[in-house]
Structure 1
Amino acid sequence: MEVFKFGGASVKDANGVRNLVSTLHKLDKKEVLIVISAMGKMTNAFEDLVNAYFLKTDKLQQVFGAIKSFHFDIIDRLDFKENDFVAEQVEAVFFEITQFFNQNQETDYDYIYDQVVSRAEFLSTRICSAYLNDVGLINTWLDVRECIKTNSDFRRAKVNWDKTSEGILKHVDTSSITITQGFIGKDNKGRTTTLGREGSDYTAGIFAFCLDAKEVSIFKDVQGVLNADPREFEQTTLIEEISYREAIEMAFYGASVIHPKTLQPLQRKGIPLRVRSFLAPEKKGTYVGSELDIVPEIPCFIVKKNQILISVADKEFHFVMEQDISEIFKLLHEFKVKANMIQNSAISFSLCIEDNFNNFKELMAKLKPKYKVKYNENVSLYTIRHFNEEVVSTIEDSKEVLLKQRSRETVQLIVKG
């Protein structure tokens, strides 16, 4: 069988759900597992809901009501033959959220996040599965938590591969269409976990690995993997072929088209990945496989915004030793802070980080008693793979560069703004 993954942009409204049906008809797939993300910007909306609940603001009911209206409006516009059935399923998910808010005693933000934000994926898959059945594409809706088992590290859970493989092989019918959620798992206490923001691609990779899938297709709102983000660069080029290794490198540096963890299980079994457009599914898009040269061979640009540049030095201007670096990395792990670039000299250690879990202030409170710390917020990290001097100069001439690092294949520039 094959594994398909559809992102939020592909099912952002009723027409997107109809296009999902059209895509399956065009590709004539009858044996496929389909991973579907939250609809449109609903993950962001659910994050707002969590924040309103956690901070006890008066916006909770307003945000909750907007989320309900969004989903029921899509149901109405799809004109179901069995409207009551899908409405009951969706209402049941909202009832679960309400029950959680009323009964929850936990104060851990990450735990609350996983229990609530995960529901966005259940809503999208309930609607899409019901609509496919309604128009004759018979499928089975699968609760992904029956399959993907993890540890209890909320918001960045690690997969237990043995139990996950057992669950997938038990619950997936490889002879038909199965629809399930991305980015979600369950720990050994039965609590919902998530694999990290944008982790639905990774879910597709997990299923493909355990099912020995023929191929994985990730459907995006772009034609494939481009050499640059079209929102940041006027001219972009489609990458037709790329190796697992190169794609992993690009994902590591922050290329948003492919989730960093997605490729590793696929590479282990040599399962090809195709990144293609849901607007033109018949086109080949980008093919990712073993031992491929990048085609065409051109510079690739990756931009990560909202970064923080930190410089750490000993207060007495002593050398920054291995034990200092080890201590700093332990703190990064403790506060779930990701380092995207590292550079050290004799008396200072610089990091470009992203604060996805809003723990930067706590990190600073730990560092400042021992070290002299300076930082710049809201900087951008430009990574250029397969660079030449001309393209590097275009960035340097137009930006204020704070830090530069260069290797054989890659240049990284931290710039203001």
Structure 2
Amino acid sequence: MIQPLVYKFGGASIKDAAAIKNIAQLVKKRWTASMVLVVSAAGKTTDRLEQLIALSFQGKRFDTELIELLDYHEDLCRGLFSTDHAIFSRVDNQFAQLRRLLENDTLKEEEGFFYDQVIGYGELISTRILQEYLCETGSPCLWQDARELVRTDSTTKMARVDWALTMQHCRRTLIPKLEKFPVVTQGFIGTDLLGNTTTLGREGSDFTAAILGVSLGAASVTIWKDVAGILNGDPDLFPDAVKFEYLDFEEAAEMTYYGAKVIHPKTIKPLAKHNIPLYVKSFVNPDAAGTIIGSFGQAPRIPITIFKDHLTLIDLRIRDLSMVGGFHFEFIYEVAKKANWRIQLIQASAAHLRLVIQDMPSTEEQLARPFRDVFHVQIKTHLKMITVKNPTDAEIKHYRQVTETCHLEQKSPELIQWVYEQEED
């Protein structure tokens, strides 16, 4: 059985004609039939589609914004193809379908469902353009609708993968094709059992690459970024940030959980389970080594600093002191599961618990209501968290001197975290 290579390219790597030409050269140098290219929407297309969805859902006109997005894609095509190429009619047809969806009021009964039916058009269009250009420049490949591969439940905006069905569809659909040609497909989207388009969460194309890698028994998965690999800090904040040559799956998973943005948080777990190595490499300098994530055991103990914004602190104090020490973790996690919260941190003492979650589109009263029977509740929103793994005395001293209000500090031998007020954007 073939062991394909899975390459994932994000929006920045195909943002304009020059970028697509660069990707075409990168792929051509590594060309093999058993290659799957997972591609995001071009540039900032997903942000623009979210704007269109919001306007349409609110019953407002969106003609200007839709035409601007069409012009962007047609301009991209003009930099790659002759003016009589069939890609222009393909793109026009996709935008005609997009307009019909945006004008279809029957889809707007539930905002999340409407979002899922529309938002994936960025990926559908970008993959058509890239596939046509690869074929045009002597790298023949096939276009594949990812919705025929990735099967999920019907949860909107964050669908859960049906792994058994997905593996079945991937092997039945892709393997015969990969024996002859590489395949270009979309990240981020799937389909439920009713045939409706679903999405895997923002920036979910990394996760798609892992899903396909696991389903096909890939030799490796490579995520191509505009950075040299995984660094121990944001290079915009830390000019002397150090690149990891390799990372263990566990270390990488913790980094993504605490807010590192290089890899989508769901990407690591399935690859680790099946021991499929993950490479993070630069499409700007594709011959550089990058970072490899795999089963390495103890990774180098380099301090890693991670910032995460848009957090909420739920401060809970026991009402009935006869219940001191119970902690009520099961109750708290049940509330979080029902509300679809993502818990970042829990701190507990005998009568006091602090829960840090991502900011939610809810009022403070809505956040507090599930806890009021058991706890006195205080809510603080718009916070940020600083996480330092493998901290040295220098990091600890530096962040303890930060003048902003610190609401929480939590420390273990390998990790220290602070929750602060978030500065206004």
User: What's the TM-score once normalised by structure 2's chain length?
Assistant: 0.91
Q: Does 1:77 align with 2:82?
A: no
SS at match of 1:398: coil
The equivalent of 1:390 in structure 2 is 394
Residue identity (%): 33
- Verify the 8 A CA contact 2:14 2:20 in the aligned structure 1: yes
Looking at structure 2, the residues matched to 138 and 304 of structure 1 have their Cα atoms a distance apart, in angstroms, of 42
- Verify the 8 A CA contact 2:364 2:379 in the aligned structure 1: no
Q: Does 1:329 align with 2:330?
A: no
Shift of 1:277: 0.3
The equivalent of 2:270 in structure 1 is 265
Shift of the 56–135 alpha-carbon distance from structure 1 to 2, 3 Å rule, reads: same
Q: Can you list the C-alpha shifts for 1:209-239, whole angstroms capped at 9, x where unaligned? A: 1111111110001000000111332321101
> Larger deviation: 193-202 or 262-271?
262-271
- Verify the 8 A CA contact 2:359 2:381 in the aligned structure 1: no
Residue identity opposite 1:36 in structure 2: V
Residue identity opposite 1:378 in structure 2: H
Q: Does 1:312 align with 2:302?
A: no
Looking at structure 2, the residues matched to 83 and 322 of structure 1 have their Cα atoms a distance apart, in angstroms, of 71
Q: Does 1:51 align with 2:46?
A: no
- Verify the 8 A CA contact 1:248 1:263 in the aligned structure 2: yes
Q: Does 1:94 align with 2:95?
A: yes
Looking at structure 1, the residues matched to 20 and 124 of structure 2 have their Cα atoms a distance apart, in angstroms, of 15
1:334-353 to 2 correspondences below 5 Å? 334-353=338-357
> Larger deviation: 162-171 or 339-348?
339-348
The equivalent of 1:402 in structure 2 is 407
Find the partner of 2:9 among 2, 6, 10.
6
Looking at structure 2, the residues matched to 40 and 408 of structure 1 have their Cα atoms a distance apart, in angstroms, of 41
Looking at structure 2, the residues matched to 279 and 383 of structure 1 have their Cα atoms a distance apart, in angstroms, of 29
Shift of 1:390: 1.5
- Verify the 8 A CA contact 2:306 2:386 in the aligned structure 1: yes
Residue identity opposite 1:240 in structure 2: E
Runs of 4 or more off by more than 6 Å in structure 1?
A: none
SS at match of 1:284: coil
Looking at structure 2, the residues matched to 99 and 170 of structure 1 have their Cα atoms a distance apart, in angstroms, of 32
- Verify the 8 A CA contact 2:53 2:102 in the aligned structure 1: no
Looking at structure 1, the residues matched to 85 and 322 of structure 2 have their Cα atoms a distance apart, in angstroms, of 71
The equivalent of 1:62 in structure 2 is 64
Find the partner of 2:170 among 168, 175, 178.
168
Looking at structure 2, the residues matched to 328 and 149 of structure 1 have their Cα atoms a distance apart, in angstroms, of 30
The equivalent of 1:130 in structure 2 is 132
SS at match of 2:315: strand
SS at match of 1:157: coil
The equivalent of 2:256 in structure 1 is 251
> Larger deviation: 332-341 or 137-146?
332-341
- Verify the 8 A CA contact 1:336 1:359 in the aligned structure 2: no
Looking at structure 1, the residues matched to 18 and 332 of structure 2 have their Cα atoms a distance apart, in angstroms, of 49
Looking at structure 2, the residues matched to 342 and 323 of structure 1 have their Cα atoms a distance apart, in angstroms, of 11
Find the partner of 1:25 among 25, 28, 44.
28
Q: Does 1:41 align with 2:80?
A: no
Give unmatched runs, 5+ long, in structure 2: none
Residue identity opposite 1:348 in structure 2: H
Looking at structure 2, the residues matched to 68 and 374 of structure 1 have their Cα atoms a distance apart, in angstroms, of 47
Give unmatched runs, 5+ long, in structure 1: none
The equivalent of 1:216 in structure 2 is 221
Residue identity opposite 2:184 in structure 1: I
Residue identity opposite 1:225 in structure 2: I
Shift of the 19–340 alpha-carbon distance from structure 1 to 2, 3 Å rule, reads: same
Find the partner of 1:153 among 140, 144, 155.
155
- Verify the 8 A CA contact 2:39 2:123 in the aligned structure 1: yes
The equivalent of 1:187 in structure 2 is 192
Looking at structure 1, the residues matched to 139 and 232 of structure 2 have their Cα atoms a distance apart, in angstroms, of 36
Looking at structure 2, the residues matched to 146 and 82 of structure 1 have their Cα atoms a distance apart, in angstroms, of 31
Find the partner of 2:366 among 340, 363, 375.
363
Shift of 1:292: 4.1
Looking at structure 1, the residues matched to 165 and 83 of structure 2 have their Cα atoms a distance apart, in angstroms, of 36
Looking at structure 1, the residues matched to 376 and 63 of structure 2 have their Cα atoms a distance apart, in angstroms, of 45
- Verify the 8 A CA contact 1:340 1:353 in the aligned structure 2: yes
Shift of the 166–75 alpha-carbon distance from structure 1 to 2, 3 Å rule, reads: same
Looking at structure 2, the residues matched to 240 and 202 of structure 1 have their Cα atoms a distance apart, in angstroms, of 22
Looking at structure 1, the residues matched to 178 and 83 of structure 2 have their Cα atoms a distance apart, in angstroms, of 27
- Verify the 8 A CA contact 1:274 1:284 in the aligned structure 2: no
- Verify the 8 A CA contact 2:9 2:224 in the aligned structure 1: yes
- Verify the 8 A CA contact 1:82 1:134 in the aligned structure 2: no
- Verify the 8 A CA contact 1:402 1:414 in the aligned structure 2: yes
Q: Can you list the C-alpha shifts for 1:179-201, whole angstroms capped at 9, x where unaligned? A: 00001110000000011111111
Shift of 1:158: 0.9
Q: Can you list the C-alpha shifts for 1:366-406, whole angstroms capped at 9, x where unaligned? A: 34754433222221111111112221221121243220111
The equivalent of 1:412 in structure 2 is 417
User: What's the TM-score once normalised by structure 1's chain length?
Assistant: 0.93
Aligned length: 413
- Verify the 8 A CA contact 2:145 2:185 in the aligned structure 1: yes
